[in-house]
Chain A
Amino acid sequence: MIDLKGIDHKYGSNTVLGIESLTLKPGTITGLVGPNGSGKSTLLRILALLERPDNGEISIDGTPIVTSAQRRRSRRGITLVEQRPFLFAGDVRSNMAYGLQRRRIDKGEAEKRILESLETLGITHLLERRVKALSEGERQQVAIARAVSLEPDILLLDEPTSAADRRATNVIYTALESQRSKGVTICFASHELENAYRFSNNLLSLAHGRIVPTTPENIFRVDLPNGHGSKTVQLNELSIQVVTEKEGPATIAISPDDFLVSTEPFQSSARNQFPGRVTSLSDDGHDRVTLVVNAGPEFVVRLTPTAVKDLSISLGSEVFLSVKAVAVRVH
């Protein structure tokens, strides 16, 4: 278990992190979300004991980590996989062996761990490959396998699937789930809210270096009925049309940009149309206005300022939201 208390960190005069209190518990996966520059990577480097905060206390299993020797010793139990992980010149095998050698793991055990972790990530075929010949996605997978092979107590990952396709993404998160089930404390940063929501037990949102209440945009847990193709799911009192082959518990997500907004109902191909009232309206200053529309459940909707002006939308306006069934993503 790792605890942060009163962490304050600056680059020059710019405060990049201000965390009052944060605890990561064993056997949990914490998803860290937030826009670029919100402090996710800095927080991960501080958790990994690679960067020393200007102020604050870091404790591991209740013991404050103060001295350099303590930091060095504690790092043996923590591994960070960076967003663009660095692989040392040479081949995949020598990279995999690096950390195991530092821990004086005997050769037979090291070889076993290398093969097992590569297999977990589905990349055993890369074992003898030169680092130079790897794609960005493969590098990321090798770096994750390299971290997993060390069997750390705390595994930290910065955007672990930023270069992965859908299949690789699933493999990576399955591997993380398997680590979690062994009691490893996992924390990953992701700009993909859906992934963070799907694969973590605990979602943490950062803005300007501070933890803020998480408001996942239009992500809902639903029960999918059996059958093929077009289905109707219930969201509170609202019926939503989705297209999926999946059945049972699932997560649906609608991008705030996929809604059409009108002030009157209209005929269209969109299978979903619901009336609602604008409960919040904020201009982000970058030609986008974010509305929260209460249509039973609340939906976050993004429009251009021109659209808001043309439709005369203001706080309390009655509007109609339309969204195509195929735009409702099912996970």
Chain B
Amino acid sequence: MDFFSEGLKRGAELALSGNPDVIAATLLSFRVAVVSTIVACAIGIPVGFYIGTNQFFGKRAALTLLNTMLAFPTVVVGLIIWGLLTRSGPLGGLGLLYTWWAIVLAEIVLAAPVAAALTAAAVQGIDPRVRRTAMTLGAGFFRTHWTVAREARYALLAAVVVAFGRVLAEVGAAMIVGGNIRSHTRTLTTAVTLATSQGDFALAMAFGFVLIALALTVNVLLQLFQGRGDD
């Protein structure tokens, strides 16, 4: 018990002490999460929107595929990206393997289906009168979709937050394509894995605390946003 409580205590101290390893991993995790979430949502939200608002042949298959991709093992995605980016792979010439861009790429592949599936569910749940009302009041194609998105904004925001959470918490793919290189491709999650395997429970907990704090901050911001815009 002493080991556990001492570890927690030291972890909290380390997290607050400005340990350079903790700071570097935090900044990288945040940077990867922000960039991946932006790109994943830029792809996933329009795709989800299209699937959710249109009737077309293969719609059910598209939704099934998206939902399957939600449960896609992250290490497999990491492995595929590794295969593409490795020196002898088809994209090996780009020299991206073991850089933070490789992690971003893997996270995009993992988070875009999350954004797409949740967006499709969100817009499918929107009252069909919203679209008709916008159209009958004279809205064009983009304005009509914008109006639907506005009515679904909380659900869409949740899609963004879940995508962000998926990226922030992901470890398998980041480890494989990033290589867990100190101050270079070491994210908070890969750092936790390494510190644990080295037996440094306190350091692992320090990274863990920062991860939780990041997740908490994003969710508090979401709550504040929802509270203010509630009408």
B214 interface hit (Cβ, 8 Å)? no
Chain B residues within an 8 Å CB radius of A89: 150-151, 231
Provide the bound-state CA to CA distance between A101 and B13, in Å. 56
Is A331 at the interface (CB under 8 A from chain B)?
no
Cβ-based interface call for B184 (8 A): no
B137 touches A50 (CB 8 A): no
A72 CB → nearest B CB, Å: 6
Contact mask for chain A residues 135-152; partner B; CB cutoff 8 A; 1 contact, 0 none: 000000000001000100
Q: Is A3 part of the binding interface, using a Cβ–Cβ cutoff of 8 Å?
A: no
Q: Which residues of A contact B139 (CB under 8 A)?
A: 98, 102
Q: Among A76, A90, A131, point to the contact of B138 (Cβ < 8 A).
A: A76
Interface residue? A86 (CB, 8 A): yes
The complex places the Cα of A284 from the Cα of B169 at a distance, in Å, of 65
Is A10 on the interface with B (CB-CB < 8 A)? no
Selected from B129, B134, B141, B151, the residue in CB contact (under 8 A) with A82 is B129
Chain A 69-87, CB-CB to B under 8 Å as 1, else 0, gives: 0001001101110101110
Instruction: Please tell me if A16 contacts chain B, counting CB pairs below 8 Å.
Output: no
With contacts A82-B129, A131-B231, A132-B231 known, is A88 near B136, CB below 8 A? no
Is there contact, CB below 8 Å, between A48 and B136? Answer: yes
Complex Cα gap A124–B129 (Å)? 25
A75, A90, A103: which contacts B231 (Cβ < 8 A)? Answer: A90
Asked if A56 is at the interface of the complex by the 8 Å CB criterion, the answer is no
Contacting residue for B136 out of A50, A90, A131, CB 8 A: A50
Among A72, A132, A150, the residue within 8 A (CB) of B137 is A150
Q: Would B129 and A88 count as touching, CB distance under 8 A? A: no
- B231 — which chain A residues lie within 8 A by C-beta? 89-90, 130-132
Q: A102-B143, A130-B231, A131-B231 are in contact. Are A88 and B138 (CB under 8 A)?
A: no
> Across the two chains, which residue of chain A brings its CB closest to B136?
A80
Q: A102-B143, A130-B231 are in contact. Are A75 and B135 (CB under 8 A)?
A: yes
Distance in Å: Cβ of A95 to nearest Cβ of chain B: 9
- If A88-B147, A90-B231, A131-B231 touch, does A72 touch B133 (CB 8 Å cutoff)? no
A132 surroundings in chain B (CB, below 8 A): 231
* Interface contact B140-A72, CB-CB below 8 Å: yes
Smallest CB separation, A65 vs chain B (Å): 14
State whether A88 touches B135 (Cβ < 8 A): no
Cα distance, A77 to B127, chains bound together (Å): 24
Q: A88-B151, A131-B231 are in contact. Are A146 and B129 (CB under 8 A)?
A: no
> How far apart sit A206 and B151, CA to CA, in the bound complex (Å)?
34
**B42 interface residue, CB < 8 Å from A?**
no
**Which of B127, B129, B130, B138 is the one whose CB lies under 8 Å from A75?**
B138
Q: Evaluate whether A80 and B151 lie within 8 angstroms (CB atoms) in the complex, with A89-B231, A146-B137 already known.
A: no
Q: In the bound complex, do residue B129 and residue A98 qualify as a contact, i.e. CB atoms below 8 Å apart? A: no
Within 8 A of B (CB), among A42-101: 45, 48, 50, 72, 75-76, 78-80, 82, 84-86, 88-90, 98-99
Binary interface profile of A, 311-323, with partner B (CB < 8 Å = 1, else 0)? Answer: 0000000000000
22 A-B residue pairs with Cβ-Cβ distance under 8 Å, sorted by A, are A45-B132, A48-B136, A50-B132, A50-B135, A72-B141, A75-B135, A75-B136, A76-B138, A79-B136, A80-B132, A85-B129, A85-B133, A88-B130, A88-B147, A88-B150, A89-B150, A90-B231, A98-B139, A99-B137, A102-B138, A102-B139, A146-B137
Interface residues of A (CB under 8 A from B): 45, 48, 50, 72, 75-76, 78-80, 82, 84-86, 88-90, 98-99, 102-103, 130-132, 146, 150
